[in-house]
Structure 1
Amino acid sequence: MPLPRATRRAVLGAALASPFIRPASAQALTPIRFILDWKAQGPHAWYYVAQSRGYFREAGLDVTIDQGEGSAAAVTRVMSGAYDAGFGDINAVIQNAAGRPGEQPVMVYLVYNRAPYAIISRADGPVRTLKDLEGRQVGAPAGSATARMFPALAARNGVDPSKVRMAAIAPNLVEQMLVQGQVDAVAQFSGTSYMNFVGMGKDPEKDFRWFFYSDMGLDQYSNGVLVSQALLKNRPEAVRGLTTAINRAIQEVARNPDAGIAELKKVEPLTDTAIEKQRLLYMLRAQMTTPETGTLGLGDLSDKRLEGAIGTVVETYGLPRTPGVRDVFLRDFLPAREARLLPVVG
């Protein structure tokens, strides 16, 4: 119901004083085209919760969510103008900030504080160390951030990446091709493959070897909410509304994962709710709940650590310039720290 004129004046005055108040009834909704990094899975539940429960609308936004083709590809799609915002990889942002400064999307809310990148091989296969990848084939989805960051991992571990054959694989075939021996290893998000192996009746711990980038000298950040330069410059209030709505939904899903998976099921009726709940909890515990998020709150990051990550990407790819922290990440639109502290995930 529309607010009385006097009430609208009062609300508008409050909105000018507080950027968090944006009643949809007092202004037209800002359309936002939002792309995910992947097909809809458990760790995407909060985006659909924010949409279905009206959190985006309360923030003055009309958000359309599309599934993606890789976390690095999501960055490219936002930079191209096809999307206004998305969920993508900060390391791809760094590369674009170095090569095409002023055009790159900027991350405004970091979700995966610990990168979930992993090289995975079969326990009974020939790849027992990273060095064993030389002369062999590694499969990865096109647009994979894990594959894009492999040269950096190789440089840290004495592996010649030119001797490793990278094969593009359809996203739904990655784990299957590894299990069938059609590739010697895969470069994939750990949470994606871990639960896909479970769904295939495999034991992820016993049947496979896991080479986690974060355990092998590559302390990178990973995926988060990123926005286009146009949205940042022309609709800063929409950026703030986006981070506020998503943060609210993340907190709710962390407290009640079943409710988040129920929303996901509405979007993808064929969702295996048991598998996707496990995948959601895996990412919450392994990639989002860290000592750093306990101190800074989810969404924020350490400038010093990001500077190191930027240096790693610049050195690995021989980039023409070293972007600054604010070329890559802006904390200007984050909700208060207290609102971003994750509850203990059971």
Structure 2
Amino acid sequence: MKALRPLLLAAAAALTALPAFAQDLTPVRFTLGWKTQGSDAPFLLALSKGYFREEGLDVTIDQGEGSAATVTRIMGGAYDAGFGDINAIIQNAAARPGEAPVMVYQLWNRPPFAIVVPKSTGIETVADFEGRTLGGAQGTPTTRMWEVFAKRNGIDMSKVAIENMAPNLQEPMMIRGQIDGAFVFNITSWFNLLANRQDPAADYNWFSFEDYGMDLYSNGMMVSRAMLAEKPEVVAGLVRAVNRATLEVAQDQDAAVEAIVAFDNLVNVDIERQRLVFSLTNLMNAPEGATLGMGDLDDERLTRSIGIVAEGYGLERAPEASEIFDRSFLPPLEDRKLTVAIN
């Protein structure tokens, strides 16, 4: 017993230390942009592999209600951070400066905003939209910025009929020929078409906003103003963990899918794997990434995009780029460069 006593004391000390360690973790409430999707992999991998905990963070991740809702959830105080649309930050920062969240790690440096049309309609150029009917969900960025798109591309808006509809009706109505095209997020609509037994690549034309003078940024990780001011070390830890996971996701989609399923075992594994690859190859691979690295953006481009959003939403004030994005928490460039090509 005397010989065992030191071991027992050591074991008791270790057990006593465990709760203390758990108490040292800083809780962070994190919201996704929507229901669990493959494009959420960087956050879910960081969670499942313990990267957040290694940074001293106890991160709780909840599903979301839309990329724009991430901003309002954080502004309302229910969440500290989340995955959402930078354009929603711009809108809120214009009206409530100093209150809107701040983007600290840009993931989608290409926008998902597009107009999709069945090839059977014969619409091959943007000029062909005239005389047609397009459907969109009122308030979404793609629909709201249609007027700017039309002006920049010489489209007579009076010759294009716009039908408002719920997002879940767009693809079915397009398939039935009730509308000629739809204002969509490509990462959503592509897979909605697959679910409706369509071939989005062979049978549809996609008019991506970025190809028609609408060079916008989109989703990334944002944090509350309160966390930014009061707990900068927590923001830095979040960014390091997500950056580490993002580079791994680009390297290993199998591990990424495992993390997604570990978080939500009800997902369609095949679809979400495809969605993950879609996000990597269509939304996270802007040429600027080769020089800026993951997580960063170009300030001049952001300023231009703020102007587009201000015009599209009729904002009274165009925020400065510094109000929208803060790169001061990014790891060094060499730690943010991909070692694989995502194209």
Q: Normalised by the size of structure 2, how large is the TM-score?
A: 0.85
Q: Determine helix, strand or coil for the equivalent of 2:283.
A: helix
Q: Describe the superposition over 1:128-171 as per-residue Cα deviations: whole angstroms up to 9, x where unpaired.
A: 5545267734133x764333433332332234668653534255
Alignment match, 1:243? 239
RMSD, aligned α-carbons:
2.7
Q: Describe the superposition over 1:32-91 as per-residue Cα deviations: whole angstroms up to 9, x where unpaired.
A: 221222221111112111111111111122222222232222222222222211111111
Amino acid across the alignment from 2:270: A
Amino acid across the alignment from 2:94: A
2:48–2:262 CA contact under 8 A, matched in 1 = no
Q: Does 1:264 align with 2:260?
A: yes
CA distance in 2, matches of 1:126, 1:68: 37
CA distance in 1, matches of 2:188, 2:246: 19
CA distance in 1, matches of 2:39, 2:281: 11
Alignment match, 1:279? 275
Structure-2 change in CA distance of 1:36 and 1:133 (3 Å): farther
Q: Determine helix, strand or coil for the equivalent of 2:288.
A: helix
Q: Does 1:136 align with 2:158?
A: no
Alignment match, 1:329? 325
Equivalent position to 2:171, from 154, 159, 175: 175
Structure-2 change in CA distance of 1:246 and 1:161 (3 Å): farther
Q: Give, in angstroms, the shift of residue 123 of structure 1.
A: 1.9
Q: Determine helix, strand or coil for the equivalent of 1:312.
A: helix
CA distance in 2, matches of 1:55, 1:125: 49
List alignment gaps of at least 5 residues for structure 2.
1-9
CA distance in 1, matches of 2:226, 2:196: 43
Alignment match, 1:341? 337
CA distance in 2, matches of 1:42, 1:48: 9
Amino acid across the alignment from 2:142: T
CA distance in 2, matches of 1:95, 1:86: 17
Q: Determine helix, strand or coil for the equivalent of 1:211.
A: strand
Q: Give, in angstroms, the shift of residue 28 of structure 1.
A: 2.5
Q: Determine helix, strand or coil for the equivalent of 1:241.
A: helix
CA distance in 1, matches of 2:302, 2:220: 13
Structure-2 change in CA distance of 1:334 and 1:134 (3 Å): farther
Q: Determine helix, strand or coil for the equivalent of 2:104.
A: strand
CA distance in 2, matches of 1:253, 1:47: 10
Percentage of identical aligned residues: 49
Q: Give, in angstroms, the shift of residue 102 of structure 1.
A: 1.0
List alignment gaps of at least 5 residues for structure 1.
9-23
Amino acid across the alignment from 1:118: A
1:72–1:143 CA contact under 8 A, matched in 2 = no
| 1:1-346 mapped onto 2 (5 Å cutoff) | 25=21, 28-125=24-121, 129-130=125-126, 132=129, 136-140=133-137, 144-159=140-155, 164-171=161-168, 174-345=170-341
Alignment match, 1:16? none
Q: Normalised by the size of structure 1, how large is the TM-score?
A: 0.84
Alignment match, 2:6? none
Q: Give, in angstroms, the shift of residue 243 of structure 1.
A: 0.9
Structure-2 change in CA distance of 1:157 and 1:259 (3 Å): same
Q: Which moved more, 1:268-277 or 1:80-89?
A: 268-277
1:119–1:188 CA contact under 8 A, matched in 2 = yes
Q: Determine helix, strand or coil for the equivalent of 2:201.
A: coil
1:199–1:275 CA contact under 8 A, matched in 2 = no
Q: Give, in angstroms, the shift of residue 189 of structure 1.
A: 2.0
Q: Determine helix, strand or coil for the equivalent of 2:24.
A: coil
Structure-2 change in CA distance of 1:166 and 1:97 (3 Å): farther
CA distance in 1, matches of 2:80, 2:157: 34
Q: Describe the superposition over 1:183-240 as per-residue Cα deviations: whole angstroms up to 9, x where unpaired.
A: 4422222122223333433221221121100111111111111111111111111111
CA distance in 2, matches of 1:225, 1:116: 16
Amino acid across the alignment from 1:269: N
2:145–2:313 CA contact under 8 A, matched in 1 = no
Alignment match, 2:5? none
CA distance in 2, matches of 1:344, 1:195: 25
Q: Give, in angstroms, the shift of residue 314 of structure 1.
A: 2.1
CA distance in 2, matches of 1:149, 1:107: 21
Q: Give, in angstroms, the shift of residue 291 of structure 1.
A: 1.8
Alignment match, 1:17? none
2:94–2:315 CA contact under 8 A, matched in 1 = yes
1:134–1:161 CA contact under 8 A, matched in 2 = no
1:73–1:143 CA contact under 8 A, matched in 2 = no
